[in-house]
Amino acid sequence: MSPSSALPVRGLWCALLTPIARDGGVDHARLLAHARALLAQGVDGVAPFGTTGEGQSFSLDERRAGLDALLAGGIPGTRIVAATGCAALPETVALTRHAVAAGCAAALVLPPFFWKDASDDGLFAWYASLIEKAADPRLKVMLYHLPQVSAVPLSVNLVGRLAAAFPGTVVGVKDSEGNWAHTAALLAQVPEIAVLIGHEPHLPRLMRAGGAGTICGVANVLPGLVRALLTPQVAAGDEARIAAFIDIAFRQPLMAGFKSMLADQRNDPGWLAVRPPLVPLTDAQRSTLRAALAASGLGPAAAGAQQ
């Protein structure tokens, strides 16, 4: 049993896109159908309202109701990581308590992202306060390192301090920086917790080095390809495909692009809407994206072909 088995989040987890209904609210029916489809395609679990899911654009009530809709629809809490981070601690506590009560596998917690120059001591105190106020021995916290978006890095030293101070509670880190040196330092210096990453091209290296898996956005549209990257013998073609896909995915706004791809895969324009300040792709952007994916063999058919 590896030291990181305390975290029941391993393998392939999808950072769910959030479908928007015509009234601007969360489209629970599409959200549930998407989660079910992904689980049927072999995804180990789902993470609603993370960064890919535009989580910070939704209210506490919307995030709670979305999670409840997944549970009510039969997705087990053990297959859900709830992204519970908010700018303010009291609201992070509220969402985290809700997630624990719902039986979620873990709470994925951004640092308080308004404060850009927070010290390790300040961030330690913030996470310690969260754990104290959540006040539930069932709580499993995954720290969320995403400096290119949150603008608040979590240093390896801070992750180590939190893992040491809260064994069995701080049990994982999602490292979405995409900087292998940082990931390697986490694996080496904090071996007692599970390391999951967000940058899919690093997955073969991560799994060889003893990492736990991924919570990623690409799994919304190419779960089979991401699954292939987690296997012991990764085909060179799959490594080339994910590199090509990531290159294409960052040519337009990321979340709107994922939604455009999913809309094409499902033949369902109901997936296109994003919530401001994000904007949907223009028709021209959608055409360009479609052509680039097709040229790389990553068009709509690829989602099924990779299973």
Under the rule (CB under 8 A), what is the footprint of a second copy?
56-62, 86-91, 94, 111-119, 121-123, 125-126, 129, 149-151, 253, 275-279
Residue 137 or 276: which CB sits closer to a second copy? Answer: 276
Picking from 44, 20, 94, the residue whose alpha carbon sits closest to that of residue 256 is 20
Query: Which CB atom, from 96 or from 150, has the smaller least distance to a second copy?
Result: 150
Name beta bridge partners: 20: 26
* Residue among 58 and 245 whose Cβ is closer to a second copy: 58
Rounded to a whole number of angstroms, the minimum distance from the CB of residue 291 to a second copy is 23
Which CB atom, from 62 or from 268, has the smaller least distance to a second copy?
62
Q: Which of 155, 156, 171 is nearest to 8 (CA)?
A: 171
Omega of the bond prior to 277 within 30 degrees of 0, cis? yes
Q: What is the C-alpha separation between 214 and 67, in angstroms, rounded?
A: 20
Nearer to a second copy (CB atom), residue 40 or residue 88: 88
Q: Please state the closest distance from residue 135 (CB atom) to a second copy, in A.
A: 14
Given strand 106-109, what is the order of strands in its sheet? Answer: 45-47, 11-15, 213-216, 194-197, 170-175, 141-145, 106-109, 81-83
Q: At what angle do helices 60-72 and 89-101 cross, to 10 degrees?
A: 10
